[in-house]
Amino acid sequence: MAFRITNEWIIDLPDDFESRVEDEKLIFWKTGITVIIAAFSLPEDTGKLELLNQIQQKLPQDALEKLVSTKGEIVGLGYTQIQKLNGDNKRLSLTTFTASDTSCLQTAFYLDHPDDLAWAKGVWENLVYHPDSENGTQTKV
């Protein structure tokens, strides 16, 4: 099901996700998977490539995999990491940043099962960006 995050951004998630808004973030969850999304405007005088370069310099040293995507008007950067929970519990995370000329979408996927990583990457790659809803233009990550 397609969920509108902002006027510009849409994410497609299965119907079985619950959702809520908390601290200006959109949170989707179901057993084994949590997706947290924050949208923000690009800082004044900062282009999308400059923003992603700044983010890339701050990526954690323990990132397992780094991902880059460029499609049409948008660019993306992501990384995977093992998150330590209480005790010996761990989960895999995929954190992504997808930027247009005016905004950036930060999406974090928290996965109890590493086999869900391909699904999370697919959701990220299929984010829909449409800067002008009147002309119907859509670009996927």
pLDDT tens readout for residues 47-104: 898 999 999 999 888 999 999 888 778 899 999 999 887 777 889 999 999 999 889 9
Where in the chain does DSSP place strands (E)? 2-4, 9-12, 18-22, 25-30, 33-41, 65-71, 74-84, 90-99, 103-111, 128-129, 139-140
Domains of the chain (ranges; CATH) run 2-8+18-140 (3.40.1000)
The model scores a pTM over 0.85: yes
Mean pLDDT (the chain) is 88
CA 63 remoteness from chain centre: 16
- The yes-or-no verdict on residue 132 having pLDDT over 70 is no
CA dihedral 135, 47, 54, 71 (to 10 degrees): 40
